[in-house]
Amino acid sequence: MNKQTETLPDQWDAPARFLHWVSAIWVLGLMGLGLAMVNLVKASGLKFDLYQLHKSYGFLFGLVLIVRLTWKFIFHRRKISNRGFLHQAAIINHNLMLLLLLTLIASGYVVTCFSIIPIPIHVFGWNVPSLLSPDMLMEQGAISVHHMIAFALLALVLVHIGAALFHHFILKDKTLIRMLK
Amino acid sequence: MLRLRIIISCLVVGLTLNAASGRSNWVIDPKKTRISFAVDATGWPKTKGVFHDFEGNISVDFEKPKQSRVMFKVRTGSVDVGSDLLASLIRSSAFFNSEQHSEAVFVSTGIEKTSAKTVHITGNMTLLGVTHSESFDVFVDAGLADKGRLGYKATGSFERSKYGMVTGIPVIADVVDLEITTEQYEQAN
Ligand code: HEM
Ligand code: HEM
């Protein structure tokens, strides 16, 4: 067994692991849905349905993210000993992903609010109120922001997944395993 | 016997009168009729839809085509765009306001022959309780005459803003294209 892995301080606790995998699936799903609905689907009706699905699940994911951030930063502050540059980079990447997720959800909500077509976000039969008044230019701006953040996040996620696989298959350490059990 | 004679002669008179005026009434066959529309939007594919609930008839005067009349009535709540969510948005007060204005109606006011197989129909369209004059180009499918049917295809477009339906303009186009293909059978009087 690799010595370094043994000296790693702690396991991720069960809520952190659970929240990690729930949001990993959720985010990859929203990402695929977002890319497909915007770029691939050409039938107006289906496209409309997918947009509403994306908005509802995107908004709902905001609640999951709040729980996750609360757990991570308030109830479960891990003490991290500095284990070098790559480890720092990993932590920075984790925090950046969380930050981009927050801004992505916020920008998605803002897109919806600025739209001149009144289509509220639906969550369990509840219409999320709009806090901004319709504005075509602002909507375009918000879409660009949402688009750029989504692609930046996608890049970080790919690096993140690549790193996890690198740990598992090349370094053969327990980084991936400890996120699993 | 006398009674029968009277009835027969009445019928004959009636028929000749009818032939003289050249007028006949036709009802649309809902199974062979399609009332569809298409609307463009920026950054969005064309939204195409149909209505499932409608009725209509035409009264054709073969001798004086100008005096033929066409009526179409569409229940806007029956709109179908391939998505229940989108349909309910279109039925809402943002567009059709189907709860308050359940019908859109077209009643012709003038018909003009433009070629052997085409006519130009002008008429009053009522949408959201507002009435304006609109016109359609109609292609008459003569091939159906043998089967005792009347077939035609009408195309046209209108500006929804004239009827107070302004939601989404200009992201969603103001101009709505209409296409009606229909077959009609003669109504037995
Ligand atoms: C983690 C959450 C989210 C992810 C990963 C995500 C991802 C994406 C992606 C990848 C696209 C396609 C971008 C493009 O190709 O231009 C997109 C588009 C979109 N997203 Fe999200 N999104 C999220 C949350 C939200 C939320 C919360 C909303 C609104 C409530 C939202 C509303 C939209 C809209 C309206 C578009 C279409 C923009 C357009 O018309 O081009 N998104 N999203
Ligand atoms: C299926 C693909 C994924 C794999 C294999 C994976 C793997 C991992 C692993 C092994 C760790 C632990 C790293 C360590 O112990 O230092 C981790 C942590 C983390 N991952 Fe992922 N991950 C995936 C997808 C995602 C996605 C899509 C996101 C973004 C939403 C994400 C966000 C995070 C964050 C923020 C952490 C830090 C731990 C925490 O805050 O709970 N991961 N991931």
Name the helix (H) or strand (E) containing B124.
Answer: strand B118-127
Summarize the confidence of residues A118-144 as an average pLDDT: 93
Residue A145's pLDDT band, with cuts at 50, 70 and 90, is: very high
CB contact under 8 Å between B81 and A44, yes or no, is yes
Q: In chain A, whose CA is at the least distance from the CA of B169?
A: A116
pLDDT score at A77: 63
Number of domains in chain B: 1
Q: Of A2-11, A152-161, A162-171, B146-155, where does mean pLDDT reach its minimum?
A: A2-11
**B8 falls within a domain:** no
**B68 falls within a domain:** yes
pLDDT at residue B20 tops 60: no
**Per-chain mean pLDDT for chain B:** 87
Euclidean distance between CA atoms A41 and B89, whole angstroms = 20
Residue B134's pLDDT band, with cuts at 50, 70 and 90, is: very high
> Within chain B, where are the H helices?
2-21, 84-91
Class of domain A8-180: mainly alpha
pLDDT score at A149: 98
**B13 falls within a domain:** no
**B14 falls within a domain:** no
Choose the residue to mutate in A48, A54, A115, A153 for probing ligand 1, maximizing ligand atoms within 8 Å of C-beta.
A54
Summarize the confidence of residues A113-127 as an average pLDDT: 92
> B52: domain range?
22-186
Return the CATH number at B120: 2.40.128.110
Tell me the CA distances in angstroms from B134 to B57, B112, B169, one per residue in order: 18, 14, 20
- Close Cβ partners of B73 (under 8 Å, ≥ 6 residues apart): B54, B55, B56, B103, B104, B105, B106
Separation of A146 CA from ligand 1 center, angstroms? 6
Q: Taking each helix axis as running N to C, give the angle between helix B84-91 and helix A44-70, from 0 to 180 degrees, rounded to the nearest 10.
A: 100
Separation of A160 CA from ligand 2 center, angstroms? 7
pLDDT score at B153: 95
**Does pTM top 0.90 for this prediction?**
no
Ranges of each domain in chain A: 8-180
Q: How many CB atoms lie within 10 A of CB B131?
A: 14
What is the sign, positive or negative, of the torsion defined by CA atoms of B93, A116, A114, A68?
A: positive
**Per-chain mean pLDDT for chain A:** 91
**B47 falls within a domain:** yes
In this structure, what DSSP letter does residue B116 have? S
Q: Are A173 and A10 in contact (CB under 8 A)?
A: no
Between residues B184 and A162, the one the model is more confident about: A162
